[in-house]
Chain A
Amino acid sequence: MTTAAPPVDFDQFEEQTWKTRLAYVTRLLLRDRGGTLGFILFILIVLTALLAPVVSPQDPLEQNLRAAKQPPAWEEGGSWEQPLGTDTLGRDMLSRIIYGTRVSLTVGFFGVLIAGTLGMVAGLTAGYLGGRVDSVIMGVVNVFLAIPYLVFVVVVAAILGRNLINVILIFGITDSPIFARVTRGEVLRIRESGYVESATSAGAGTARILFDHILPNLIGPLITLATFEMSAMIFYEAGLSFLGLSVPPSIPSWGNMLQVGRQYLTIYPWIATWPGVAIAITALSFNLLGDWLRDVLDPRLRRSRN
């Protein structure tokens, strides 16, 4: 396997421009095979979501009952016009998978953005102020973490009803305790470290310590966590759709497709197969990228290799 990537060390350059930094990060990325693969997949997935109308061969909503239940092209009865086959209403599987990327990435991105922001503010407040504020915030966080996540999400989703905004809000709020806990732990660690102490004794104010010392050190661990959480959210969204609790059935999402595929599993197995493959590739990309980011941004958490 590849050797462990060294932590980012920008100070080694005398003259730092964004060019030298970019070149350095690129070199680090290319050194890690998994990270490179994850990054390439990530770019492809994001492009697929952005360019869905351009790259999908057909309208994902257009029904064509004459071409319904067609297997993938390489199987008997398949056609290259619908390379991955069609669903029970004759809609093109490939185009639906492509459009499904949009739902998954939207939920993952905005969900993590909300969860990360809420969690970071709560964790910073708790960790920096300490004392009673800390006890109250972490008490609430621990209660939320005590309820099994899947149960929590399923119940809240059932109560609030199916639409994209609700799903994003549910994930954004229910996932924030994890960010709060990680942020608080980091803040405590940084606060105890020598450099914050010396900054305080040199007369640095709260704002200066927060923005110059604590926040920059939080970015690494939080970006890493965000990558993994995004992957987890894409799982959970698909699972909710699968139970009929996420976006309405009219929207092509991977979970909605799986739900239909499950009903026809034994006769038209490809309907359930492709969305699962799409979820797995997306999760693979985020996990490889996350592993690499953890190695590079957070040497303390570095995967033990040899």
Chain B
Amino acid sequence: MQRYIISRTFQSLLLLLGVLIIIFFMVRLTGDPATLMVARDAPEEVREAFREKMGFNRPMIVQFSDYLFGIVQGDFGESLHFDQPALEIILERLPATFQLATVALLFAIVVAIPIGIIGGSNPGSPLDSLGRTLGLLGQTIPNFWLALILILIFAVNLGWFPSFGRDKTISVVLPAIALGFASMGQLVRLTRSAVLEIRNEDYIRTARSKGISTLRIGAKHVFRNAALALISVISIQYSYLLGGSIYIETIFSWPGLGNLLQQAVDGRDFPLVQAIAFFISFFVIALTLLTDVVYALIDPRIRYSR
């Protein structure tokens, strides 16, 4: 067990290093990061001074090792726009993003799992049709458009929820629904197919032939086994929600990382962009690692398969 955790952690750190390399070279894609970050009509002297200040004129390997050592010490560079360490700005915005992603995930789970389980247990029933429709809608309606439609209906016409900001508790409702809708559809589909698959397993037939009630079979056998399959799906959805809130946060002026990333991209504040990209990737990698460890804890087959 310990060996498994250590080797998975080591792999995750390697992955993180790979991500850092990509993020480092990303802003150097066009060849000259100074042109990218300084206003286009700035005179060449300003650009030269910027290169000097940021150290872009040093050999690449020196720049990269500096970047790497900075990050190990918690230095993620300075935001060009805010004149403040990128880390500080990101830490400020972090709670909003986690709140939004978590509420969106809860919304998806609470709607999808019951519909998926009941629908999957009764194929062809009205609830099953509803589940299939939701599954399809989740894949076909873009979240940025859904956000606009929700604002139009529930904020503008009905006036039930605020259309932007994070001042009230209910402010999170519309952005969370818009963000979580696709995950909800995905979860309905996967829960449904997991339940359908488990229903055909031998142990269910055995339980049934022993005369165990449908409800008990559902609770003890179907749900437990489906839950095992769903943990990884939910973890993937959570990382998708954490990294996928750019449109939603921008539309609802939600003060999180996605909104910050959009502003930073708009203002060509690339040191901040790099830091945000790193943090979101970091959370996703950490979440994957955590999920794998949880799996290894509850399912001995995984821990011994290596």
Contact status B123-A148, CB under 8 Å: no
Residue B54 lies at the interface, judged by CB distance under 8 Å to chain A: no
Q: Does A52 contact B (CB under 8 A)?
A: no
Q: Are A158 and B247 in contact (CB under 8 A)?
A: no
A279 to B277, Cβ gap below 8 A? Answer: no
| Contacts A139-B18, A243-B246 given; does A152 touch B265 at CB 8 Å | no
Stretch at the interface among B23-31, B104-112, B219-227: B23-31
- B255, CB-defined interface residue at 8 Å: no
Measured as residues with beta carbon below 8 angstroms from the partner, the interface class of chain B is 35 or more
A155 x B273 contact (CB < 8 A): yes
**Cβ < 8 Å to B, chain A residues 119-173:** 139-140, 142-144, 146-152, 154-156, 158-160
Task: Please report the number of residue pairs spanning A and B whose Cβ atoms sit closer than 8 angstroms.
Answer: 137
- A158 & B140 in contact (Cβ 8 Å cutoff): no
- Please name all residues of chain A whose beta carbon is closer than 8 Å to the beta carbon of B280 when the two chains form the complex: 147-148, 151
Pairwise interchain contact A276-B22, C-beta atoms closer than 8 A? no
Shortest Cβ gap from A104 to chain B (Å) = 11
Q: Give, as a whole number of angstroms, the nearest-CB distance from B58 to chain A.
A: 21
On whether the beta carbons of A159 and B30 are closer than 8 Å, the reply is: yes
> Does the CB pair B144–A146 fall under 8 Å?
no
Chain B, residue nearest A285 (CB): B140
The reply to whether the CB of B173 lies closer than 8 angstroms to some CB of chain A is: no
The reply to whether the CB of B60 lies closer than 8 angstroms to some CB of chain A is no
Knowing A283-B139, A284-B136, say if A245 contacts B265 (CB, 8 Å): yes
A276-306: CB near B (< 8 Å → 1, else 0) gives 1001110110011000000000000001111
B142, B145, B240, B250 interface centre (most CB from chain A within 10 Å): B145
Q: A245 vs B285: C-alpha distance in the bound complex, in angstroms? A: 27
Report if B141 contacts A (CB, 8 A).
Answer: yes
By the criterion CB–CB under 8 Å, are A159 and B240 in contact?
Answer: no
CA of A293 to CA of B248 in the docked complex: distance in angstroms? 32
> Which residues 211-251 of A sit at the B interface, judged by CB distance below 8 A?
231, 235, 238-239, 242-245
Q: Taking CB as reference atom, which chain A residue is nearest B283? A: A148
Residues of B97-145 at the interface with A, using a CB-CB cut-off of 8 Å, are 123-124, 136, 139-142, 144-145
Q: Does A272 contact B (CB under 8 A)?
A: yes
Please give the distance in Å from B5's CB to the nearest CB on chain A.
19
A152 touching B15 by the CB < 8 A rule? no
B152 in the interface (beta carbon within 8 A): yes
6 contacts between A and B (CB under 8 A): A147-B19, A147-B284, A238-B144, A242-B144, A305-B123, A305-B196
Across the A-B interface, give the 4 residue pairs with the lowest CB-CB distance, nearest first: A148-B243, A143-B18, A276-B145, A304-B196
Q: Which residues of A does B touch, CB under 8 Å?
A: 1, 139-140, 142-144, 146-152, 154-156, 158-160, 231, 235, 238-239, 242-245, 258, 261-262, 265-266, 269, 272-273, 275-276, 279-281, 283-284, 287-288, 303-306
